Amino acid sequence: MKVLNLSLLIVIIDQISKILVKGISIPFLNINITGMEYGQSIPVIGEIFKFTFVENPGMAFGINVDGYFKLFLSLFSLLASVAIVVYIYKVRNQKLLFRIALALILGGAVGNLIDRFFYGIIYGYAPLLYGRVVDFLHFDALGFTIFGKTFDSFPIFNVADSSVTIGVFILLIFHKSFEESSKAENNQDSNVVVPANAEIGNGDSIRESNQISN
């Protein structure tokens, strides 16, 4: 379960980066982070890679959803995160890389889940579960079409999105290796031989017990 530390690290980095971008004011703690203006871009590598502050009310990489589907998405993300934690415990003896992939997915899911659950309340624009996800990593190139929507550049995303994507890619690339490792472990468990002298309740022991009792 130590891989959950990686999930926690992802959540911390993701939330700190979002707060620095969006800004926050907590007067009683004397905290006042200005953040960026909505839509503002700060070039990092020329015009190829920039920090661009936008908010996404829907899914990862700018895929927009609203209404009841957004509520469903928030609740589903919560249940999925709990399920991943349980599954990580279940496969705690499997390959480290497999567990790292799951931890990356979990960290990213929880990072965006915090936005959806609490940002609307914290920033005063929406009720619980209806917050918007903060995105800011912007590769201004590589236009493409997905789900019928055309993007002139790669969708703006965040640290949590990156973590989920990396975790999924690890699972896709190494899934055969993970399956073989799991099968080998199951076969090893099924081939365990119990010594004959370790049998419980054999005839000799029963007769000896009866003689003692008589």
pLDDT digits (tens, 9 = 90+) for 144-187: 666 676 767 788 999 999 999 999 999 999 988 888 877 766 66
CA atoms of 87 and 59, how far apart (whole Å): 23
Question: Which strand (E) or helix (H) includes residue 133?
Answer: strand 133-139
Tokens at 16, concatenated: 């700190």
Boundaries of domain holding 73: 4-181
Q: What is the mean pLDDT of the chain?
A: 85
Burial class (CB in 10 A: 0-12, 13-18, 19+), 10: buried
* Residue 89 vs residue 56, higher pLDDT: 89
* Mean pLDDT across 123-152: 84
Q: What is the pLDDT of residue 40?
A: 98
Looking at residue 112, its amino acid is N
- Say how many domains are in the chain: 1
Least reliable range by pLDDT among 9-13, 113-117, 206-210? 206-210
Least reliable range by pLDDT among 37-51, 86-100, 149-163, 188-202? 188-202
* Residue 59 vs residue 166, higher pLDDT: 166
Q: Is residue 15 part of a domain?
A: yes
Q: What is the pLDDT of residue 122?
A: 95
Question: Which strand (E) or helix (H) includes residue 173?
Answer: helix 159-190
The catalytic site residues sit at: 135, 161
Q: Is residue 105 part of a domain?
A: yes
Q: Is residue 60 part of a domain?
A: yes
Q: Is residue 205 part of a domain?
A: no
Neighbouring-strand partners of residue 10? none
* Mean pLDDT across 187-210: 53
CA atoms of 65 and 77, how far apart (whole Å): 14
Q: Is residue 71 part of a domain?
A: yes
Q: What is the pLDDT of residue 194?
A: 52
Question: Which strand (E) or helix (H) includes residue 98?
Answer: helix 96-114
* Residue 198 vs residue 168, higher pLDDT: 168
Looking at residue 210, its amino acid is N
CA atoms of 108 and 14, how far apart (whole Å): 8
CA atoms of 98 and 105, how far apart (whole Å): 11
pLDDT digits (tens, 9 = 90+) for 67-113: 677 788 889 999 999 999 999 999 999 999 999 999 999 999 999 99
Q: Is residue 192 part of a domain?
A: no
DSSP-assigned letter for residue 118: I
CA atoms of 14 and 163, how far apart (whole Å): 9
Q: Is residue 94 part of a domain?
A: yes
Q: Is residue 208 part of a domain?
A: no
Q: What is the pLDDT of residue 206?
A: 46
Q: At what angle do helices 96-114 and 159-190 cross, to 10 degrees?
A: 140
Residues 180-192 as b/e (b if ≥16 CB within 10 A, e otherwise) read eeeeeeeeeeeee
